[in-house]
Amino acid sequence: MIDKISYELVKYISQNVSFVDKWAGLVRPLRKKVQTADKVFPVAINTPTNCDLSDYMALVPDRDKKSIVYVEMITQPTIDTDKSYKFMSAQLRLVVWYNLDLITSGSYISEDVLADQILDWIPRRLPDASFIGVKQVHFLITGLVYGTDIVSQYTYNEIKTQFATHPYGIFGVNLDVWYVSTHCQTPVDVSGTCITGKGGVTISDLYPATNYAMPDGEYLSTPEGEFMVEET
């Protein structure tokens, strides 16, 4: 359910903050061999329509985007139960990478200005109508963090790409989330014909394309632009 909560949170922010560009809900680290080296970068599982085979979306710094916004889970959910409900809580981080070249045409503004806009649109509560089997989804902002330590688990090459140096930058908003599970989840349909998970993930799963090329250097070209990874 954290996946759905994260998706609804970022969706709400994206509808109200003008500089939110590419976004997703909850991401997970994906390990993949690029050329001869193992790389780690954040990916989100798409919610496909019409059996779209684009299962995974990479959420990495991309100079063709105004911003990249997603959620990471900081702590696993805890559970308290009674006869009728499960009371759940967890800690999340909303991550925002931004590109002032496309937001302000390169003019410098303090990232606190961008952070304040994000903070203004983090809801205290999401509507119960957005969920099945869950209600009373609340958020509490607990902190604001800046800098490359936010993405230290990923193999970005800060020295070569300068992905956190003007006109780029990155910040995170730490959140507590708590909600109530009502034991009324929709049963899993095991007879569905839309298969969205494949055991072996390829680059084309991240960005659907033909004749996909990976040049040398710190960028991987994609149909959506270029994203920054560490050079071998």
As beta bridge partners, residue 219 has: 228
Tens-digit pLDDT profile for residues 24-49: 999 999 888 777 778 898 988 765 44
Contacts of 63 (CB under 8 A, 6+ apart): 99, 101, 168, 225, 226, 228
Token pair recorded at residue 164: 């956190």
Q: What is the span of the domain harbouring residue 51?
A: 2-228
222, 207 Cβ separation under 8 angstroms = yes
As beta bridge partners, residue 126 has: 137
pLDDT tens by residue, the chain, 232 residues: 888 899 999 999 999 999 999 999 999 998 887 777 788 989 887 654 445 545 678 899 999 999 999 999 999 988 888 777 888 899 999 999 999 999 999 899 999 999 999 999 999 999 988 888 888 999 999 999 999 999 999 988 777 788 889 999 999 999 999 988 886 666 666 555 554 444 444 333 333 322 222 223 333 334 344 445 444 3
pLDDT at 156: 86
Measured between alpha carbons, how far is 96 from 144 in angstroms, rounded to an integer?
Answer: 11
Minimal CA–CA distance to 139: which of 152, 154, 155, 126? 126
For 135, the 3-state DSSP assignment is strand
Q: CATH number for the domain including 57? A: 3.30.2000.10
Report in angstroms the alpha-carbon separations of 174 from 105, 114, 151: 29, 15, 14
Measured between alpha carbons, how far is 42 from 29 in angstroms, rounded to an integer?
Answer: 5
Total domains present in the chain: 1
